[in-house]
Structure 1
Amino acid sequence: MSFKKLLQSLKDNLKRQGIESPNALQKEILSKIKGGASLFVIAPKNSGKTTSIVISVINHLKEAFEDAPRALIFVKDKQEALELAEIFNIYKRGTDLRVYCAYEEHNLELQREELYLGTDIVIATPKRLNRIFYLNGINLNKLQMCIIDDADFLFRNNHFAEVTRTPESIGRCQYLVFTDNYDMRFERWRESFMNLAQIINFKG
């Protein structure tokens, strides 16, 4: 997919960052994501996985809508959440999309109150997302995209189990898993909520 089909403000923001055309990974996956496919994207570091997430989410959501989030992105920790939010803030300029970060080092009750005010994109650590959800602090019924960035972290500190709980609470959704290495434990997801997912093994 070329950038010609992207939201104009997104194209402008990419151009300001010196990005005028998709790289090799983006040429392979952006059209599939736009078409609604669920994917496991296996690609080396610095191949453009995170930028692909940002482009896809902004281009899909386009503008703020109601209060419940439509995109949920799981990340490893607070630092990863804040760094990803900053990338979103650069590329979503010209839109009114709202981004919210949820992580352990922030007051839980305050996060619930802030989420209640409305957001479009939630970037969260698995443990904190589940705590907020089970306290009825977030509505996942409108979720359209559920994404895991740099998914290798899932196999430490019980994160895999935390993320696996999420699909039990949402309806039909597009799932995107970005990882440096495919782990056979992902087959559990392919057998349940990601049974139609494509595996994209990008060598670079």
Structure 2
Amino acid sequence: MGVPFEDFKFNRQILNAIADAGYTEATPIQQKAIPPILNGQDVMGIAQTGTGKTAAYVLPLIMKLKYAQGENPRALIVSPTRELAMQIEENIKTFAKYTDLRVVVLYGGLGPKTQIEQVNRGVDIIVTTPGRFMDIYLAGHIVTKTLQVLVLDEADKMMDMGFMPQINRILEVVPVKRQNLLFSATMSDKVHSLSANFLEFPTVIEVTPQATPAQTVNQHLYFVPNVKTKINLLKKLLDAEDDVKKLIIFCKTRTSAEDVYKFLLRKYGENGVKVLHANKGQNTRINSINAFKADEVKILVATDVAARGIDVSDVSHVINFDVPVVIEDYVHRIGRTGRAYQSGEAITFCTPAEEYYLDKIQKLIKQTIPVSDIPADVFVEATGFDERQEQAREIDLQKRKENPDFKGAFHEKKTLTQRKKFDAAKAKKTGQQTDKRNKSPKAYRKKR
């Protein structure tokens, strides 16, 4: 049985906001995290997305701050992506609506002028990405001496994205005496070392085994030979699935996402599909997410920039058009569906060059993903020469990763090419030319 929110020491303003949002019982992470956070302890929470972890720290934070006070921030929440930062800000506004607490969100991709103006008007909670916070801090617009609470959300993603230098700089400029909260979906070595530097005798909360996909998600796997067959299979699945309420299609690269988007655009038009990746302008990205949330479009094509923290209800299906290279992202991708105890479907397409990452994912989640046969009426395309070469090159790189002594299928060809180039250069240097009939060097006799 879940614990009702009434059992926590929240004031009436917070309880009314929780009720307005339609929540009655706390999720496991909320049950375990709220009491120690309210008590002022440092907390480390290991929880996958979709478990309600944002509210697990936002609710006690609002309770601790209570009302607007002074001009400078008293809480700082750091997140890896602008999308997640906006999601957290939305959560705070939802639960703090009966208070006068002021929240400002800071992120790159837009000019800082408006954000600086918001900070200068007075703020209680700053939600930010690491780089933009340091930019505005170094420009002299943020006073940190009043900070009481520092939250690092999605710490593992920040490590993956190379934000460690910025995090260390933030730790240097915030007060030593403060409450620290760190949330992460996985407990990697980097996160472990960060927590050792960052947390003081923390309460560790782990609500699900590390990197475990949500139990409510049904996983399916298709082995496909190439990208064209992926497109054919995608078309078939979309034609066959009447129960697709909302679908996110994840791609490995911006190029792949753009190609899939253009294909679906011909089928569904502007009102049926949106795309989300780092090459899109900030306003376009916000509009795409909002349109998807508001049921204006049914399909969102995205790179992993959207894999975390985008809390969209009723996502019935996730399709991994490409297997993720950062294997932990698999858990986050499929965590977009099956949220709030609803069931969801997660489908993955895997080419021969992606099997290396698939094996690592199955070891990580300690599960074998059930394999489905490609439907008989899906046309399986022959793999073109260029794609075949690209796959072979990729497999060589993977083998070399595992075994540095591995020479690879391309090694011999490369060596022969290099030898030819060397012989030609040597012939040129010694005043020789190449006989075109037998390819052997022939002395060049100067005419007297």
TM-based fold match above 0.5? yes
Equivalents in 2 of 1:55, 1:158: separation in Å? 29
Aligned to 1:196: 201
Aligned to 1:3: 6
Structure 1: gaps spanning 5 or more residues:
none
Q: State the shift of 1:90 in Å.
A: 1.3
Aligned to 2:178: 173
Q: Tell whether the 8 Å contact from 1:189 to 1:195 is kept in structure 2 after alignment.
A: no
After superposition, the C-alpha distances for 1:163-196 in whole angstroms (9 at most, x for unaligned) are 1221211221111111110122234334434242
Aligned to 2:57: 53
Equivalents in 1 of 2:134, 2:6: separation in Å? 35
2:12 is equivalent to residue 13 of structure 1:
no
Equivalents in 2 of 1:134, 1:140: separation in Å? 11
Equivalents in 2 of 1:20, 1:120: separation in Å? 27
2:31 is equivalent to residue 27 of structure 1:
yes
Root mean square deviation of aligned Cα: 1.8
Correspondence 1:179-190 to 2 at 5 A = 179-190=184-195
What code does the residue aligned with 2:43 have?
Answer: L
When residues 178 and 191 of structure 1 are mapped into structure 2, their CA distance, relative to the original with a 3 A threshold, is: closer
Equivalents in 2 of 1:187, 1:104: separation in Å? 28
Aligned to 1:136: 140
Aligned with residue 85 of structure 2, among 70, 81, 84: 81
After superposition, the C-alpha distances for 1:60-92 in whole angstroms (9 at most, x for unaligned) are 111100011011111122222222211211111
Aligned to 1:37: 41
When residues 3 and 81 of structure 1 are mapped into structure 2, their CA distance, relative to the original with a 3 A threshold, is: same
When residues 174 and 94 of structure 1 are mapped into structure 2, their CA distance, relative to the original with a 3 A threshold, is: same
State the SS of the aligned residue for 2:89: helix
Equivalents in 1 of 2:198, 2:30: separation in Å? 25
Q: State the shift of 1:152 in Å.
A: 2.3
Aligned to 2:162: 158
2:130 is equivalent to residue 120 of structure 1:
no
Q: State the shift of 1:150 in Å.
A: 2.0
After superposition, the C-alpha distances for 1:107-149 in whole angstroms (9 at most, x for unaligned) are 2244223212110010100000011111211011111111122
Please, what TM-score do these two structures have when normalized by structure 2?
Answer: 0.43
State the SS of the aligned residue for 1:192: helix
Equivalents in 2 of 1:86, 1:195: separation in Å? 29
Please, what TM-score do these two structures have when normalized by structure 1?
Answer: 0.92
Q: State the shift of 1:40 in Å.
A: 1.2
What code does the residue aligned with 1:47 have?
Answer: T
Name segments (4+ residues, structure 1) moved above 4 Å: none
Pick the structure with greater CA Rg.
2
Aligned to 1:95: 99
When residues 76 and 192 of structure 1 are mapped into structure 2, their CA distance, relative to the original with a 3 A threshold, is: closer
